[in-house]
Structure 1
Amino acid sequence: MKTKIRIGLALLLAALTLAGCGDEPGSDLPVNTRLGGDFTLTDHNGEPFRLSSLEDRVVILFFGYTHCPDICPAVLARVAQAYRNLDEQGDAGPVQPVFITFDPERDTPAHLREYLPWFKADIIGLTGSVAEIEAVAEQYGVVFLKTDGQDEAYDFTHSDYIYLLDRQGRVRKLYPADFDIDEVVHDVQSLL
């Protein structure tokens, strides 16, 4: 029951945050004024990583965890395919996929460094303390809940939006987990 309530709250939060979007002159994609912001976490090389270091790059941002049995790897594969499509069209240079884990216990920098190359999309993996990840999740309206499990056999229930950030790090669009790859490619190109 708690999980259903939290998922319901996440959907309500997403609807409210989308209502906080304002149009920017000359752009087809609205700027979301209620979500996002700069943050610092630890990257897959064990170094501090600040979102603002990607200034002048379009970011495709996704939250998840590497031990996810289904949705997270499928979404990462779709993000990677969008990136590869952009690369084929010569537009991937100023684009950066970023993955933030909910699971810092298992998703260490070393594990992320080993896991993410399988997707062949130059994805930056980010982790941190539970408190740091919770703070970033709150900035982006992400809800996640660790489920009970024995030892390392736990999972997470979580919202699964993909965020498109412009060159100034502002949220411009949210996509569902089953997003249309061509739509993402088109939207990224509109921000280049």
Structure 2
Amino acid sequence: MNNKDRFTRTFFLPMLIAGAALLLAACSEPARELPVNTRLGGDFTLTDYNGERFSLSSLNGEVVILFFGYTHCPDICPAVLARVSQVYRNLKEQGEADQVRPVFVTFDPERDTAQHLREYLPWFKADILGLTGELSAIEKVAEQYGVVFIKEDGGNGEADFTHSDYIYLLDQQGRVRKVYPADFNIDEVVADVKTLL
């Protein structure tokens, strides 16, 4: 046996086996469990885009991607809708979307009527459930989730809103498990959703 063979058998081969074992162990480790946020969230009832009363708890058993905004928003809201839609489509392509539901809550009920939401949201091709209702009810839901929105004069006779733009990941029991900024990483959210299914 020459020195090269001796080195291969003595050092390289055991290191290769050990490395493969570590790789297999890493692949088999369960994904990190997302903590439950006990300060935000809770059940609520609003009006869905079919004009029916809708409670968040009716989605128990599904993972919910919840976000707030308004359809006349000039920039942030459509961008967030597009990103959430991409998360849903990625999950659908992977066969993981059956128990996932994006939910959009407007804080502009004057313009975002049930009919308007029903016509607007399908453009994003992501089975997004739109919710509206009395402003007082929406304000209560916003408070539950730490959402801030302030109505302002847009200067063209139309209302604009200054608002927070977080996205909430809810587990199958309706508990907040993670909060993301508007420019969230799509692959991160997809991976997090999978840990809850």
TM beyond 0.5: yes
**Structure 1 stretches of 5 or more lacking a match?**
1-25
CA RMSD of aligned residues (A): 1.2
Task: Determine if the alignment matches structure 1 residue 110 to structure 2 residue 85.
Answer: no
TM-score of the superposed pair, with normalisation by structure 2: 0.83
Which of residues 81, 97, 107 in structure 1 aligns to 2:102? 97
Amino acid aligned to 1:34: R
Q: Which residue of 1 aligns with 2:149?
A: 144
Q: Which residue of 1 aligns with 2:164?
A: 159
Amino acid aligned to 1:32: N
Amino acid aligned to 2:92: D
In structure 1, distance between residues paired with 2:115 and 2:156: 20
Residues 133, 151 of structure 1: CA spacing in aligned structure 2 closer, same or farther, 3 A cutoff? farther
Aligned ranges for residues 12-23 of structure 1 at < 5 Å? none
In structure 2, distance between residues paired with 1:70 and 1:86: 25
Q: Kindly, what percent of the aligned residue pairs are identical?
A: 77
Q: Which residue of 1 aligns with 2:66?
A: 61
Max radius of gyration: which structure?
Answer: 2
Amino acid aligned to 2:44: F
CA offset digits 1:115-140 (Å, max 9, x no partner): 00000000000000110000000000
Q: Which residue of 1 aligns with 2:53?
A: 48
**Structure 2 stretches of 5 or more lacking a match?**
1-30
In structure 2, distance between residues paired with 1:58 and 1:47: 21
TM-score of the superposed pair, with normalisation by structure 1: 0.85
In structure 2, distance between residues paired with 1:109 and 1:152: 22
Residues 70, 184 of structure 1: CA spacing in aligned structure 2 closer, same or farther, 3 A cutoff? same
In structure 2, distance between residues paired with 1:165 and 1:52: 11
Which of residues 79, 85, 88 in structure 1 aligns to 2:84? 79
CA offset digits 1:165-184 (Å, max 9, x no partner): 00000000000000000000
Aligned-pair distance for 1:28?
A: 1.5
Q: Which residue of 1 aligns with 2:14?
A: none
